[in-house]
Amino acid sequence: MKSFLPVFLLSFLLLPTPGPAQTAPGTQIPLPAPQMPAGSKPGAPLRLTVPQMKEELEKSPNPVLYAKQILQKRFSIDTIVVTRTKSFSSLADSLAYKGKIKKVYGPFGQPGKRFLVQILSKAPNLFYHVSQIFIDTTVFSRRVADSLANKIIARLQADPGSFEQLTMTYSMGGEAATKGDLGWIARGTFLPQIEHEVETHKKGEFFKVWSSNGLHIVRKTDDPKQDTGFALIMRVFL
């Protein structure tokens, strides 16, 4: 399995959680200190099986301090940005979106480099559902692309329901496989000029936008919705 790497790293200020406590001496975390199990020697790392470790991390009111003080394991904390609600690009954003808070997953990684992943918290973001027909200007000149786009838009104005058919006929960006549907995409991950138009148009409307790659004929498929946009995760290295 590929190594687990965050898709993006953001400031921890995006979430109502403390900063990178694993490397900052004296960092204050407003959670109860973990308690040593009965019979454990102070200062000695707690020896647990992986299933026991997962269970104890999920029960702990402060899993960060538990990993540091009780398990005495190396760990890292990352903020993961969820860019789509389907077709995840990595294990990181898949767990960030689908994982449950406090739940521990894994182990992942190669022998000798295994780790557990715990979802510490989540925060919402706004998602837009869009479809597009893309005309590549490395294939057509801008003049030809614009002329073709105008013909497509004229067809759409006469028959809005023909968008999927026209996508399969004309789109050059791979959207034919999904009939133009790009799914739910997080705010902040679109090209700025496309996101601006998506925000100003109503559900069902379509518009064209130029980018450095070509000409996009975009349809706003649904009204925007709130969904999981960020997740704070901890990796505990075994």
Residues 131, 219, single domain; the answer is yes
Residues 207, 131, single domain; the answer is yes
What is the reported pLDDT for 5? 34
Residues 161, 177, single domain; the answer is yes
Contact of 101 with 121, CB cutoff 8 Å = yes
What is the reported pLDDT for 45? 62
- List the chain pLDDT tens, one digit each, 238 residues: 333 333 332 322 233 333 333 333 333 434 455 555 555 555 566 688 999 999 999 999 999 999 999 999 999 999 999 999 988 888 999 999 999 999 999 999 998 899 999 999 999 999 999 999 999 999 999 999 999 999 999 999 999 889 999 999 999 988 888 999 999 999 999 899 999 999 999 999 999 999 998 999 999 999 999 999 999 999 999 9
What is the reported pLDDT for 11? 27
What is the reported pLDDT for 42? 59
What is the reported pLDDT for 13? 26
- Whether residue 38 lies inside any domain: the answer is no
Upper half-sphere CA count for residue 222 (Cβ side, 13 Å): 12
- Whether residue 190 lies inside any domain: the answer is yes
Residues 143, 182, single domain; the answer is yes
pTM: 0.75
State residue 19 phi and psi, 5-degree precision.
-75, -160
Q: Is 176 helix (H, G, I), strand (E, B) or coil?
A: helix
Report the CATH number that the domain containing residue 171 is assigned in CATH: 3.10.50.40
CA 183 to chain CA centroid, Å, is 13
- Whether residue 5 lies inside any domain: the answer is no
The boundaries of the domain holding residue 185 are 127-225
What is the reported pLDDT for 176? 80
- Whether residue 37 lies inside any domain: the answer is no
What is the reported pLDDT for 145? 95
Residues 106, 152, single domain; the answer is no
Q: Which residues contact 135 (CB under 8 A, 6 or more apart)?
A: 145, 148, 149, 170, 171, 172, 214, 215, 216, 217
* Count of residues making up the chain: 238
Q: DSSP labels for 38-64?
A: TTPPTTSPP---HHHHHHHHHH-S-HH
Q: How many independent structural domains does the chain possess? A: 2
Residues 233, 217, single domain; the answer is no
Q: Which residues contact 173 (CB under 8 A, 6 or more apart)?
A: 132, 134, 136, 214
Contact of 131 with 167, CB cutoff 8 Å = yes
